[in-house]
Amino acid sequence: MKISTITNWAYAVTVALTALSGASFIMSSRNAVEERVAVEEHLTLDVLAEELALGAEVRSDEARLYVMRGEERHLQAFHAKEEAERQREASAARLVSYGLPPAETQALDDIARDAEELDKIEASAIQAFQGGDKAHAQEILFGAEHERLQSALLQTVSHFRDLTAARTGSQLAAARASSDWWSLIAKIMLGMTGALFLAVLYFILRRRVTMPLTRMTGIVGRLAKQDYTVEILPDLRRDEIGEMNEAIEIFRANGIEKERLDAERQADQRTKDLILEMMHRLQACHNQGELAGVVARLAPEIFPDLSGGLYILNESRTTLIGAALWQQPKHAGDSLPASSCWGLRRGRPHISGVHDTDVPCQHLDGAKVSALCVPLTAQGEMIGLLYLEKNAEGTIELTNSRLYLELIAENVGLAIANLQLREKLTEFAIRDPLTGLFNRRHLEETLQTRLADHPKEPLACLMIDIDHFKRFNDQFGHDAGDMVMRHVGQILRESVGEAGSAYRFGGEEFTVLLPDYDEQGGAEYAEAIRRKVNSTTLSYAGQMIGTVSVSIGVAASSEGGSGETIVSRADAALLTAKAEGRNRVVVTAR
């Protein structure tokens, strides 16, 4: 019940109790008046009866004294008493007219009759005394009849007093009892009013208002400081305090929800900032290795609950080669068959293991794991795959992060495509398109860098020329000559390997740089190349071309020498080899 309702009821009950208490006091006062009236009536009747009895005696005494002494003053007193008695009898008659009970009225009538008879005897005695018959007068006043009448009068007066005393006493007792009863009711009403007031003060003001408000003050204070960990005790009361408590609980729930939304917004903003940071880093990468390192470093920060890997399609587009792995994914290897991924097959993101509603990728080997495969595409061409799986202790859901993951995959795909395009352009810029070897421009840059960075370390330079190359073009055509050039270039790539680098210097001339080789080591390497070239017989379009031979000049770097110097010396040695009959290796003289 609401406090306002309780207060209204308490007010109404208090007013009713106060009214009843007032009415009880009024009734008690009325009974007190009745009690006073009964007492006054008793006193009045008692005094009247006493005066009637006493007056009769005094009048008789005056009459007796008059007949005994003959003094006139006793006669006057007798008449005066008689007149007073007449007045008292008139008062008694008036009381009878006010409605005395019949018994009391009869008693008053008896008193009046006895007094009248007594008056007659005494009057006759006075008349006899005045007639000179003193003895007869004394006999009348002191005779048996006079004594009888006087005794009867006194008895009647006594009986009247008893009747009035009994009646007025009964009225007095009834009025007193009624007054006490109404007074008790008034006191009870006042007690109930006081108890109700105290109950309102304690149960309503203190327990239902003051104490809850005091508790709520602390709670509201903590909520105002955004301390939403404060505990709000459940309050099932359906009053204003209960509504306030419910409102505070709603406010706390809204605050907690706001904190959660703020935390999600901050986390979302941090994710966006990290993704933007990753995009900036991806755009600054010079090669795919750097790109893979950036992805492997920032992906765990963006999605700490996800592990995964970055895969790039090989040139034959049959295998996904792992470029980077992070947070040790359990179901990702160094390489994956391209056909084993449904995401790569469909050309769109594919989720495996979420509620088992979709076909899992084959590279998961049937493992029950939540995984997301996002294909990397650029300009409609498939480039690679971004693979992610949920960690066992992770709380993030792949479906919730899918949008950001696809955004990352899109930017990674574009960055890889740009790097691959840049690498192709770089290859076109530094490689000879016919033989696949580095070109002369790259040779000059390599020599300049090498000699500047390692001036004191040995470097051997081989200048190679195909013997009688014009014969192949003239006799078999330029296509055959191109085939010979590619053949020699292939042998140089295979022979040099990681020991150095091979270049097409121009025309049918080639250059090989061998770091950490001196003239003697360079000459031995050159001899091996010459023999390998000369050991193969070539044919083109069904015609035997024969064997191909090369002449090689060898030079080694000297301290303080430039790139042009070592190439010039190696070229001079080549000219010497050609002059001496070709198909040989000549080391330049210092």
Q: Tokens 């008895």 appear where?
A: 155
Tell me 582's DSSP state. Answer: S
Helices 72-97, 3-69: inter-axial angle, 10-degree rounding: 150
556, 494 Cβ separation under 8 angstroms:
no
| Tokens at 15, concatenated | 């007013």
Residue 508 known to be catalytic = yes
Rg from Cα positions in the chain: 71
Specify the 3-state DSSP secondary structure of 271.
helix
> Cα 363–365–371 angle (5° rounding)?
65
Annotated catalytic residue, options 89, 508, 509, 519: 508
Q: Which residues contact 9 (CB under 8 A, 6 or more apart)?
A: none
Q: Give the N- to C-terminal CA distance of the chain in Å, as an integer.
A: 115
CA 93/CA 100 separation, integer angstroms = 10
User: Would you say the C-alpha torsion 572, 575, 579, 583 has a positive or negative sign?
Assistant: positive
Specify the 3-state DSSP secondary structure of 197.
helix
398, 370 Cβ separation under 8 angstroms:
yes
380, 437 Cβ separation under 8 angstroms:
no
Task: Give strand pairing partners of 514.
Answer: 460
Specify the 3-state DSSP secondary structure of 324.
strand
Among residues 139, 184, 220, 169, which one has the least CA distance to residue 45?
A: 169
Specify the 3-state DSSP secondary structure of 514.
strand
| Tokens at 259, concatenated | 């904190």
Q: What is the DSSP string of 190-251?
A: HHHHHHHHHHIIIIIIIIIIIHHHHHHHHHHHHHHTT-TT---------SHHHHHHHHHHHH
430, 439 Cβ separation under 8 angstroms:
yes
Which residues are catalytically annotated? 508
